[in-house]
Copies of this chain bind each other. A is one copy, B any other.
Amino acid sequence: MLEIKPEDIEKKSFEILTSKMDENRLKFYTEDELLVVKRTIHTTADFDYQYNVIFQNNALQTLKDCIQSDAMIFTDTNMALSGINKRILTGKFGIEPLCLIADEKTIEFAKKNETTRANAAIDLAYQMHKEKEALTGKKIPIVFAVGNAPTALIRINELLDKYKPDFIIAAPVGFVNVIEAKELVKQSNIPAIICDGNKGGSNVCAAIINAVLLQLAK
C-alpha cells in the first residue's frame, strides 16, 4: 500500500494518469482543455477519453463565462447533479444546478404531451429559464449537461428554431441513438464539450463541470 496523505492522492493520481497518456494527445489539447480531459480519465480510469473529448466553438471559455454570469445549469440525471462540486458552483458562484427529470411537473408534462420525461425536462427547463429572465429582466445563460439521455440532445435540437442553449455538455452513454444525438450537437456548432462515440455518463458529465469549476476557483 502506498503511504500517502489524502490531500496528495489526487495530485499523485494525475501524475500517474498523465504518465500513461498518449504524448500526441498531451500536445493536441490546450493546457486548460487537458485538465478537463485528465479529469474524465481520473473519473473512469478509461484512457479512451483522451481521444473522445471534443471542445467545440470556444467551448471552455464559453462555459467559464456562463458560470461567471449566473447561468442556469440543468443536468439530465440526479446522478450527474449529485456529482457536481456544489462547494464551488453554489458556494462560490451562487448557482444551484437543477435536474427536472423526477420533478412532478415533468412527469405531468410528459404524460399530457405523450413524450418522455427526458424530453419534457428540456421543455420545462426552457420555460423556467424564460420565467427567470422575465422576472430578473436580464439575459441569463442556459447550460444543459447531458450524461445519460440522447433524447435530451435530440429535443434540444428539435427546439433550436425557438430556443438556443448557450452551452451543452454532450456526454450521453450507450448504444442506441447516442452517436447520432452527438452528431446533431456537432452540426449545430453550439459551444459544447462532446464525448464522441458511445462513451460518456453521468459521472463523466459531472467530472467535466468539476474540472472547469476547479479552474475557476484557482
Q: Which residue numbers of A lie inside 8 Å of B, CB to CB? A: 1-2, 4, 6, 9, 12-13, 16-17, 42-46, 48, 78-79, 81-83, 116, 151, 154, 173-178, 180-181, 197-203, 206
Contacts and interface: CB of A to CB of B under 8 A. Distances in A.
A4 B176 contact: yes
Contacts of A116: 6
Contacts of A48: 46
B13 A175 contact: yes
26 contacts: A1-B177, A1-B180, A2-B176, A2-B180, A4-B177, A6-B151, A9-B174, A9-B176, A12-B176, A13-B174, A13-B175, A13-B176, A42-B174, A42-B175, A44-B173, A45-B174, A45-B200, A46-B46, A46-B48, A78-B82, A79-B83, A79-B202, A82-B82, A83-B202, A202-B203, A203-B203
Contacts of A1: 154, 177, 180-181
A6 to B, nearest CB: 5
B79 A206 contact: yes
Contacts of A82: 78-79, 81-82
Total copies of the chain: 2
B45 A175 contact: yes
Contacts of A154: 1
A177 B2 contact: yes
A197 to B, nearest CB: 8
Contact of A17 (B9, B45, B81, B175): B175
A85 to B, nearest CB: 11
A196 to B, nearest CB: 11
